[in-house]
Structure formats: structure tokens, C-alpha cells
Structure 1
Amino acid sequence: MKNSPKYQALLVFLLSLNFGIVFFDRQALNALMPFVQPELGLTGTQVGLLAAGLSFSWAIAAFFVGRLSDSMGKRKILLVIATVAFSLCSFLSGIATSFLFLFAARLLMGVAEGGVMPISHAMVASEVNPERRGLAQGVAQNLGSNLLGSFAAPVVLVAFAQMFSWREAFYLAAIPGLISAALIWFMLEEPQMPAKEPAPKKTMGQTVTDFLAETGKALAVRNMWISVVVGVLMVGHFVTTWAFMPLFLVQQRGMDETSMSWLMGSLGIAAAIYSIVVSGLSDKIGRKPVMVFLPFLSVVGPLGVLLLDPAGFAGTGLFGLSNYALVLVPIFFIGWMVNGIFPIFMATIPSESFKPIHHATVLGLAMGSCEVLGGVFGPIVAGWINDGFGADSFLYLLMGLAVVSGFVSMGLRETAPAALRRKGITPEFA
């Protein structure tokens, strides 16, 4: 039955699975970069541009597809179309023969993938009980994306590339999305949209003007602009980590590809756990405490890579993985707890700060801003400083982004319903 606990669980599960497949496709290039970069002769700046290009088109799509779903009231069909489209784009990445070809394929993939999360979060916000909203949005955004995108992608695709080639690995990455689209189409219902007053038809210019006006009003809300600023910094941190860490570990730290894939995959396991633990914890103790503390904690990951000399951990250990990788696993596991706050600043806080009718629009604004600024400029800057100042320069950038995020989050106003009620405050938009 629609809106029953069982249906809500099914909804969150399928949306989490679908976004996991989105990230499986998105992370494919990062995991396969040690194979792709030598064959296509890519520079550090070009590696950054590939990550940035997808982030840019993803951001534009997040802005406008979220708004389109609000105005059309057809969220399920748009989600299915986007899922089929990004799956087909993975085939294009596999046949790329040059930087420009691959860059164009990633741009198209970003366009297809960008609207998936704003629509998904809007569906969760309208269908799931407010008391479980933080946990539900955390699972929808982080559980599948980390198990499939951050864990399965490097482990499975690197192994597949070693057996065949990186091109065949991209073909493999395209298949799950088609299956997910079918599951969503047949098993989920179209969410019921809040009633709207009839609006007069508007020209394209008026529509753009209204969109900019709504954006300005949204950013005037304190929690919204803080969420956007922290999102820009932390998405830059996330995209830069995945764009450059695999290459750095293999080419500069001498780690074999298999050990690298499992080490990077450990980030997925960590983030999958934290998607439940951190989001659920924020439902209990509040959004602000976790938003402030965890960015500071994330410094331990890049600091560990920077300070630990692989020469001191020669040889192999458990499962045949390098000892250096095994030492870094717990360090990465602790630092990556910060991934648990992503659905909080991208979705939970914005959705608790605005009326439901505006959810997809403000979520698209939050996610789009994070991607277009953090996801685009983060890896470009990292690639540029790596080319100019050394391959380890991006590690200092990661630490700087994290520290600034923690300080900015101190300005947040609490929105968690349970935390507010303990203070005798009634949530405004619960």
C-alpha cells in the first residue's frame, strides 16, 4: 500500500540502488584512470578536467531537472528516462579514443545523471515520515552509492580491466542501470504532488527571471547558503579525492592496482556504514554537531597518505594486498566518516528549511551549486597545482577544504525535528 512502512522501505531501497548505479558509472573512470591515463596520454590537468566536466553538466541538470519535476509533477518518469540515458553514456566512454572524445562522453553522462538525486530526495521527502527523513535520505543517497559506486566500482572494474581491458569494463558498467530503470518503472508509484494554484503561462525570459529570483530568495535563508558553501567545499574534496588518489597511490606510492582498488573500495564500505550511522545520529542529536565535527576528522586520510612512507611497509599481507594499503585502510575508514554528512547538507537541511512544494527546486539548487563549483573547480585546481607543484599537492588542498568546511558549519541553525522538540521548538516544515 502506498505510504505504508513497507512501501516507504521499498521506495528508499530502489532509489538507493539506482543512485548506487549512478555512482558506479560515475566512479568507473576514476577507478580505471591508471589504465586510461597512459593509453590516452592524459596530463594531470586533463584528468581534473574529465572529473570537472561531468560535475559541471551534472550540476546544470540538477538545477533544471529538479525544477522541471516540480512543475510537471512527473518525477518517476523523469527518473526512469535519466537512468536509461546515463547507462547508454557509459558505452560512449568505452569507445573513446582521445581526451576530447572521453570529455564529451562524460559531459553527456553528467547531463543524464544530474537530475537523479534531486528527484529521488524529493520523492523521499514527500513519501517518508518526517521523523525518519534524515535516515531515509542518508540511505537513499549514501548506501547504494557507496556500496556500488565507491566499493564495487573500483574492485570489480579494475579486476575486469585486468582480465580484459578498460574499454570492456565501461561496457559492463552500463548494464545495471537498465535493470534499475525497469524496477523503478514497475514497482514504484508516481508521488502525489501538493496542490498548486493555477499559474499564468510565462515566456522563457520570465521563467529564467523567476528562477533567479527564487534562487536569490533561497540563498537568503541562512541554512541554505551555509549548506551550499559547505557543499561546494566538500564535493570538491570528494571529487578531487576520487580523481587523483588512485593515480597517486599507483604512480607515486608504488601500490599495485589490485591493492589500490581494495583500498579505495574501503571508502565505499565506510561510507555505506556512515550513511546509516551519521544520518541516523543526526536525527537524534541534531544536524549541526555532525556537520561541524566530521569535516575536521576527515583530515586524517590525506595526512596519512602524505606522512606514511611506503618503504616502511614493504611486502604483502592479508589477501595478498600490500602492507602499505592495509595500513591505510583504517585511516581512510575513520576519515571517510565525513561522507555521512553529504545527504544532510545536500538534502535534509534544505528540505527542512522550505515548504514541500519547493523541495525539488531547493534540492536541485543545493546539489547543483555543490557540483558546479566544488565538483568543477576542485579537480581542475588540484590538477593544475599537481602539474605545477608536485603530485602530492592535492593532498594539501583536501585538508584545507575540510578544515574550512568545519568552521563554516558552525553557523548552522538546527533543523532536526527531534532536537528542536527537546528544546520546546515546533519544526516549521516537518
Structure 2
Amino acid sequence: MTNSPGYQTLLVFLLSLNFGIVFFDRQALNALMPFVQPDLQLSGTQIGLLASGLSFSWAIAAFFVGKLSDTIGKRKLLLIIATIAFSVCSFISGLATSFVFLFAARLLMGAAEGGVMPISHAMVASEVNPARRGLAQGVAQNLGSNLLGSFAAPVVLVAFATAFSWREAFYLAAVPGLVSAALIWLMLREPVPAPALTAAEKDDKLSILDALKVRNMWICVVVGVLMVAHFVITWAFMPIFLVQERGLDESSMSWVVGSLGIAAALYSFLVSGLSDRIGRKPVMVVLPFLSIVGPLGVLFLDPGAFDGFGVAPFSWLAIAGYGVVLIPIIFVGWAVNGIFPIFMATIPSETFSARHHATVLGLAMGSCEVLGGVFGPTLAGALNDAFGRDTFLWLLMVLAVISGFVSMGLKETAPAALARRGLEPAAA
């Protein structure tokens, strides 16, 4: 490892910041949906399709851009181009006058954003000390994305949309990406190319089917499909559910869902760091089961119940009491967000050799998005239209429980956990 600790820290910080801005733009529509839906007269199915469309083009980009970065080796350049492109797409979203216009804008944004994380994780895997890989990849993927995308996006953009309009909020969301692209250009260097491959290594090509024959890979893909669906469904429907079904005003809603971002930012350190110590498998099994407390809290806790404490139902005091009780419940359940970089990046990168990292990371992230992110919210929207707006909460719990059981089949890859057993890390 030739990079200094200072540069490794800078690398992870800037990649985390950049991915945070990616999610700031991605989450903007979810946070602004209580404003957008009445204006554009969107149905539940159309809300789901907007989330699905972005996930679909995101997935396609993750597959191909990850492979492209392995092929040409220009990871920094590709990252900068993608960052500028998704910022432009955020501005275009603010111009939308119909469902079709907005759907097209979200497709373009997904195509621009999809390659960011495979490239970022490949840079971390090659530039950061392997002993801190889990923590570094957890911070790169989860810290910025949750502080900016899951916390700042709903709070800042809802306040901006209330003061101006949802269109101006999208224009605002376009600015940070341009700043991030400039910082990456000025402060990071192109990763040093891997040593020239031997003849045997050149023949060692990895196809998608070959990768999926490895147990850890297909388990990561299955869990990823389920948990990405869980994530996208939560963000697509929770904000509008809290406003239209639980009676929260948009500002109160933004703080409740923003608590998800604070929780996940903390878990980006705690869960990833814990997995470095105790192993990847234990956290992958336990946290999906724990996550069901969040949907249960939203499902059975009603602001109207607080009128028994001497306050009018749905008054600001009742809403405040509701938030005080609900936020800790959500906070505990959202610990599951900490496993996302583990199944998307850490386990695949510890299972395969370094020359295949961007390829397998693109496979992990792309398949999660194209199956979970595309079909999950569309299914949830259709179920909501057919059976009621709270149906998505039951679907979240089903997805989480299945994920926990599937994760039981993982083979441990954490170096520290293997060392305690007297085993050496091995890459397929």
C-alpha cells in the first residue's frame, strides 16, 4: 500500500461526499412528492414507476460503466463525467410538466448516477488498506449518502419548496454536484494501474454467469434485490404516506424521514466497523430481522392516539408527540441500512480478485437496482392502489424477513474473523 493515511482519508471523504450528492439528487423527488403529486396528478402506480425508472437506468449504467472502468482504467475521469451529468438531470427534473416528462428526466438521471458507486468502491478497494476496507467502503457509500440524501434532502428541499416551489428545489439540487466534480478533479489522482497481467491472468476472464456460480455472489445479489426494493419502496412511499395518511404537515414529515438519514449515517460507521471485527455474516443475518420494527411503528402508531393526552388530534402538539415516539423506532429499525455496502461491495470485493472488482461490484449493484429497485416500487404502488396506502409497509416486512434467512447461507470473508479461525482470506 503506497498511499499515505492522509490521502486514503481524503479519498474516502470526497467519494462519500460525491455519493451523498448523488443521493441528494435521487431522493429529491421522494421528499418533494407531496408537492409534485397534486401538481402533476400522479397515481400510486405512477409514483412507483418514477422510482423504478431511475433504478432501471441506474442498474444498466452500473453494469456497463463498472466494466468500462475496468477496461480503460480511467476511473477518476468517468467519475467526474457522471457527476456533471446527473447534476444537469436534476435541473431538467424541475422543468417537468407531466408524468412522461418527469419519467424521462429520471431515466436520464439514473443513467448518469449508476456508475458512480461501482467506480468509487473499486477506487477504495485498490487505494485503501485492506484491514480498513469494510469501514472505508461503508463510509464511502453510507455516510454522505445518508447525511445529504436521507437527512438534508428532505429537510432542505421541503423548506425550499415551501418558500418557493418544488421546481426551484430541483434547480437547487443541481448545484452541489458541480462543486463535487471540481473537487475530485483538483484533489484526487487517477488510481495507479494494476501491474501488467500475466498470460494466465489475461485468460482469467470473469463472466456474469461465472460470478453467479460463487455462493457469496448470488447470495449478495438475492439479498441486494430484496433490500434495495426495501430501501426504494420506503423512500418512494413513506413521505407521502406520512402527509396524506398520518396527517403530518410537509415540514414535520421532512424531519421524521430525515431521521432515517441521521440513523444510517451513524450506522455507516457502526455496522461496517462492527463487521470488520465480528464478521460480515452476523450483521447480514441479524439486521434485516431487526428492521421490521420500523414499518410496524409506522403502521400501528397513529398521531390521533395522542388526543388522549389532553391535546387535539392532529394538532401540532399531537404531531410532535407522534414524532418523539416514532423517530426512535425508525432509528432502531434503520440499522439495516448499514449492511448495504457489505453486500454490494465488501463481500464481493473480498470474494473475487482485485482485477475483477469493478465488474463484480457493477454486477452486485446493477442486479440489485434492476430487479429490486425497478420491480419493488412498481409492485408496491400497484398494491397500494388495490389494497390501501399502507400495503407497502407489509411488503417491507416480508422483504426484510426473507433477506435475513437468505443471508444465513453466506461464507465469512472478513479478514479478522477468518484470522481468529486460523484461515487465510481467499479470492475466487
**Aligned-partner Cα distance in 1 for 2:374–2:345:** 20
Cα offset for 1:309? Answer: 2.3
1:352 is paired with a residue whose SS is: helix
Q: How many residues align?
A: 420
For 1:206, the equivalent position in structure 2 comes to: none
For 1:202, the equivalent position in structure 2 comes to: none
Cα offset for 1:323? Answer: 1.9
Cα offset for 1:16? Answer: 0.1
> Is 1:174 matched with 2:174?
yes
Contact between 2:247 and 2:314, CA under 8 Å: does it hold in 1?
A: no
For 2:301, the equivalent position in structure 1 comes to: 308
1:322 is paired with a residue whose SS is: helix
Cα offset for 1:324? Answer: 1.5
Letter in 2 for 1:248: F
CA 1:317–1:135 in 2, change beyond 3 Å: closer, same or farther?
A: farther
Residue in structure 2 matching 1:332, options 322, 330, 333 = 330
Q: Bigger shift: 142-151 or 299-308?
A: 299-308
For 2:310, the equivalent position in structure 1 comes to: none
Cα offset for 1:59? Answer: 0.2
**Aligned-partner Cα distance in 2 for 1:5–1:227:** 30
For 1:354, the equivalent position in structure 2 comes to: 352
For 1:233, the equivalent position in structure 2 comes to: 226
Paired residues for 1:258-273 under 5 Å: 258-273=251-266
Letter in 1 for 2:276: D
- Normalised to the residue count of structure 1, the TM-score between the two structures is 0.95
Cα offset for 1:376? Answer: 0.4
CA 1:288–1:215 in 2, change beyond 3 Å: closer, same or farther?
A: same
**Aligned-partner Cα distance in 2 for 1:136–1:289:** 19
CA 1:419–1:243 in 2, change beyond 3 Å: closer, same or farther?
A: same
Cα offset for 1:176? Answer: 0.2
Paired residues for 1:109-258 under 5 Å: 109-197=109-197, 214-258=207-251
CA 1:37–1:214 in 2, change beyond 3 Å: closer, same or farther?
A: same
**Aligned-partner Cα distance in 2 for 1:137–1:273:** 14
Letter in 2 for 1:105: A
Letter in 2 for 1:63: F
Cα offset for 1:321? Answer: 5.7
**After superposition, what is the alpha-carbon deviation per residue over 1:143-163, rounded to whole angstroms, capped at 9, x for unaligned?**
000000000000000000000
Cα offset for 1:325? Answer: 2.1
Contact between 1:231 and 1:366, CA under 8 Å: does it hold in 2?
A: yes
Cα offset for 1:196? Answer: 4.0
**Aligned-partner Cα distance in 2 for 1:261–1:211:** 49
**Aligned-partner Cα distance in 1 for 2:398–2:4:** 45
Contact between 1:218 and 1:362, CA under 8 Å: does it hold in 2?
A: yes
Letter in 2 for 1:186: L
Letter in 1 for 2:360: V
Letter in 1 for 2:90: S
Contact between 1:258 and 1:321, CA under 8 Å: does it hold in 2?
A: no
**After superposition, what is the alpha-carbon deviation per residue over 1:18-46, rounded to whole angstroms, capped at 9, x for unaligned?**
00000000000000000000000000000
- Normalised to the residue count of structure 2, the TM-score between the two structures is 0.95
Letter in 2 for 1:216: L
Cα offset for 1:177? Answer: 0.2
**Aligned-partner Cα distance in 2 for 1:329–1:78:** 39
**Aligned-partner Cα distance in 2 for 1:212–1:91:** 40
Residue in structure 1 matching 2:385, options 384, 387, 390 = 387
Paired residues for 1:42-61 under 5 Å: 42-61=42-61
Contact between 1:316 and 1:323, CA under 8 Å: does it hold in 2?
A: no
Cα offset for 1:332? Answer: 0.4
Q: Bigger shift: 154-163 or 324-333?
A: 324-333
**After superposition, what is the alpha-carbon deviation per residue over 1:223-263, rounded to whole angstroms, capped at 9, x for unaligned?**
00000000000000000000000011100111111110000
Compute the RMSD of aligned alpha carbons. 1.9
